[in-house]
Structure 1
Amino acid sequence: MEQLYDYLPRELVTFILVTVFSLLIGLSQRKISLKREGETTLFGTDRTFTFIGILGYLLYILDPLEYRLFMGGGAILGLLLGLNYYVKQAQFHVFGVTTIIIALITYCIAPIVATQPSWFYVMVIVTVLLFTELKHTFTELAQRMKNDEMITLAKFLAISGIILPMLPNENLIPGINLTPYSIWLATVVVSGISYLSYLLRRYVFRESGILVSGIVGGLYSSTATISVLARKSRKASAQEAPEYAAAMLLAVSMMFLRFLILIGIFSAETLSAIYPYLLVMSVVSAGVAWFLHSKRKRMDNVGPIDEEEDSSNPLEFKVALIFAMLFVVFTILTHYTLVYAGTGGLNLLSFVSGFSDITPFILNLLQGTNNVAVLVIAACSMQAIVSNIAVNMCYALFFAGGKSPLRPWILGGFGCVIVINICLLLFFYFL
């Protein structure tokens, strides 16, 4: 918007912006106040907010150096707003102060527009409009929140903003690239992605179907999501079996994208070598999932995963502790494997790591193996992922039960994904 000052007088542009922004705030506030309080307790109208903004602009330009007129006008406006609040509280028992705060913000629009860049004052206006309109959304969100949800958020802020900066970045074991900072950094990054997935699953896609549950759960943990889906499938009919298998493969597809994010955070070089293969693997898994979904016979919609089955807290201390321990174990194993068995032993270890959580192994490769070629790290990462998919298939078969109608769909879907991924691995080797 600064370009307008080259063609129009600065005072004219500022006056128009202040008037328009004040009117928008007044319109949104009037609509919300009428719904909540009614005409009798409404503070002014949309014109009132517009005049407040214009008043602030006039008093600002009349004394642009000392701001005495602007501050005096703000004091008088605050007094009038205080009297209005007293009357509403005494006669109508309305105690909200949101309107008063918004009126004061409207009064401050003029100096903000005159002194700040356009992105800043537009951001202020957008924030005010959004928070005004989202009142009922926040109320519903607060009602749905668990009692310990703020504690969970505080845990994440503590482990990322307090504990992490305080940890030393010195090797714990001579000759092994393993520091308290690197251990906790990996834990924070993985916990952050898991926490985001947890919030999406609980508050955004709470009433979603099986497919969306698989997509969002794959960002958190494909193994956990597949296990939950397999257990839930025991109560499903034979016609619903392809839908559960499709959701499991969508969780696998999202797992590839999750590792793309992690690899991009810790090693740009490895990302440049591996991203085409992980993207193809993700697309293949999603394509097979869509094929299985299309085979499902059209019946009633499959319901969402039970909340009690899929509401685990990703920031539990024991979960972070287990991840940190696995990271240390894989760091030590990787170091001594490279010392005594070379890259051949590392390739074998990558397949073995698939029987546990492969995230610590891959993050260790990205952080602690500076003497290993990027292509070797990329190959070991893909081998670990393929091995983990095979293990997840076994978990799905086990939790679904021996007589489950889901078994042939699991074997067919996962088998197709594993075969194609192995072909991609061979292509990577011989490229």
Structure 2
Amino acid sequence: MEQLYNYLPRELVTFILVTLFSLLIGLSQRRISLKREGEITLFGTDRTFTFIGILGYLLYILDPVELRLFMGGGAVLGILLGLNYYVKQSQFHVFGVTTIIIALITYCMAPIVITQPSWFYIMIIVTVLLLTELKHTFTELAQRMKNDEMITLAKFLAISGIILPMLPNENLIPNINLTPYSIWLATVVVSGISYLSYLLKRYVFQESGVLVSGIIGGLYSSTATISVLARKSRKAPEQEAGEYVAAMLLAVSMMFLRFMVLILIFSWSTFLTIYPFLLIMAFSTATVGWVIHSRQQRLHDQSTEPEDDDSSNPLEFKVALIFAILFVIFTILTHYTLVYAGTGGLNLLSFVSGFSDITPFILNLLQNSGSVAVLTIAACSMQAIISNIMINMCYALFFSGRGSKLRPWILRGFGTVIGINLLVLIVFYLL
């Protein structure tokens, strides 16, 4: 935008921009006024806001140093807006001040355009237009929010922005890379990814079907998602059995992507080594799930009820506490395994970790990338993931019930995925 000043007078470009931006704001207010039949309390529409912007520009350039004219014009505009609000409140019982605030922002457009870079004032215009148009969206969102949703957000901001910076970064146990800061950092990162998937599932894909529930749930916890889907499958018709298994495998596929993000955050060198193999694993798992989905004869009236009712809040204190405890346990186990059993013992521990939450084990490996070889970290991470998939298959068989119609689909689907992933692991060792 600044390049226009090389070809046209600066005053002309600034005047055109201020007029155009003010007109856009006014048009957005016009659209709102047209939706309110019988509305007679608006301060102004498109032309009014355009003239407010032009007035601010003129008063600013006439006295750009002392700004007495600009401040005087703002004071007069503020008085007029205050009188307008008084009339609305006393006679029409309308208490909104959005139009007044937008009018004041429009008046300030001239000094913003003159003194600030183009990205800044364009960002202001975009923000004003979006917030103006999304009023009903925000209203619907507020109505759908749980009673404790803002408390949950406050918890996340507290653990990430208040507690984390205050923790010391000194080892708790000599010779073991375990500090309060590293423990809480891992907890914050995992909680952030889980909280994002929770918000997507509740507010963006609330009316999603089984497949989308598996995809979004896999970002939070593939084990929890598979357990929920297996329990729900007990009431599903036989024609939808494969659909639930496909959703479980898609949750596993998203687990690979979740670990790719975590590895990228904590260890760039490990990410460069492992990401091609994790991508192959994720793609092959998703392909098996999609094949099962395609072979199913789905009912036309298939339920698309949301799966949120069975998903717990990812920021519950006990969840964070369990994660932190597991992180400490695996840190100590990893250290002493390397000391007394070497790399072979660490490989065995990676398979054993699959019986619990493998995230603390993998994050501990990543934070000890200075003392453990990158290839060892990559191999142990993939082995832990494969072991966890085996356990997830057992969870799916258990929670779906004895004699479940999902059983043959689970065995075929998960068995194929485990076989492919073991083959990828062998290729990794050969390379």
Work out whether the TM-score is over 0.5.
yes
Distance 1:80 1:185 in 2: 52
Correspondence for 1:13? 13
Cα pair 1:331 1:368 within 8 Å, conserved: no
- Give the superposition deviation at 1:199: 0.6
1:137 aligns with 2:137: yes
> Where do 1:116-195 residues align within 5 Å?
116-195=116-195
> CA offsets, 1:217-249, max 9 Å, x none?
000000000000000000001110111111101
Correspondence for 1:307? 308
List structure 1 runs of 4+ shifted beyond 4 angstroms: none
- Give the superposition deviation at 1:37: 6.7
Identify which range, 299-308 or 113-122, moves more after superposition. 299-308
Cα pair 1:365 1:377 within 8 Å, conserved: yes
Correspondence for 2:419? 419
Cα pair 1:30 1:45 within 8 Å, conserved: yes
Aligned residue identity for 1:190: V
> CA offsets, 1:152-204, max 9 Å, x none?
01111111111111111000000101000000000000000001011111111
> CA offsets, 1:17-67, max 9 Å, x none?
111111111111121133247441122221000000111111111111111
Distance 1:36 1:269 in 2: 58
Distance 2:156 2:277 in 1: 32
Change in CA separation of 1:40 and 1:305 when aligned onto 2, cut-off 3 Å: closer
1:217 aligns with 2:209: no
Aligned residue identity for 1:163: I
Aligned residue identity for 1:50: T
Distance 1:414 1:373 in 2: 30
TM-score by length of 2: 0.98
Distance 1:150 1:120 in 2: 29
1:243 aligns with 2:246: no
Aligned residue identity for 1:126: V
Distance 1:113 1:258 in 2: 42
- Structure 2 SS opposite 1:40: coil
Distance 1:279 1:38 in 2: 58
Cα pair 1:213 1:304 within 8 Å, conserved: no
Correspondence for 1:106? 106
Correspondence for 2:275? 275
1:350 aligns with 2:324: no
Cα pair 2:201 2:308 within 8 Å, conserved: no
Correspondence for 2:79? 79
Cα pair 1:178 1:368 within 8 Å, conserved: no
- Structure 1 SS opposite 2:378: helix
Distance 1:135 1:329 in 2: 48
Aligned residue identity for 1:402: R
- Give the superposition deviation at 1:306: 4.0
- Structure 1 SS opposite 2:40: helix
Correspondence for 2:379? 379
The count of aligned residue pairs is 430
Aligned residue identity for 2:429: Y
Distance 1:129 1:211 in 2: 35
Cα pair 1:240 1:302 within 8 Å, conserved: no
Distance 2:160 2:308 in 1: 27
Cα pair 1:177 1:369 within 8 Å, conserved: no
- Unaligned runs of 5+ residues in structure 1 are none
Distance 1:346 1:172 in 2: 22
TM-score by length of 1: 0.98
- Structure 2 SS opposite 1:41: coil
Correspondence for 1:230? 230
Correspondence for 2:335? 335
> CA offsets, 1:45-101, max 9 Å, x none?
210000001111111111111111111100000100111111111111111000000
Change in CA separation of 1:254 and 1:417 when aligned onto 2, cut-off 3 Å: same
Correspondence for 1:368? 368
> CA offsets, 1:86-141, max 9 Å, x none?
11111111110000000000001111011101110000000000000000000011
Distance 1:88 1:217 in 2: 48
> CA offsets, 1:380-420, max 9 Å, x none?
00000000001001100100011111111111111111100
Cα pair 1:232 1:305 within 8 Å, conserved: no
Distance 1:306 1:343 in 2: 42
> CA offsets, 1:197-216, max 9 Å, x none?
11111111111111111111
Cα pair 1:23 1:50 within 8 Å, conserved: yes
Distance 1:395 1:54 in 2: 67
Change in CA separation of 1:101 and 1:108 when aligned onto 2, cut-off 3 Å: same
Distance 2:125 2:419 in 1: 54
Cα pair 1:210 1:247 within 8 Å, conserved: yes
Aligned residues: CA RMSD: 1.0
* Identity, % of aligned positions: 82
Correspondence for 1:57? 57
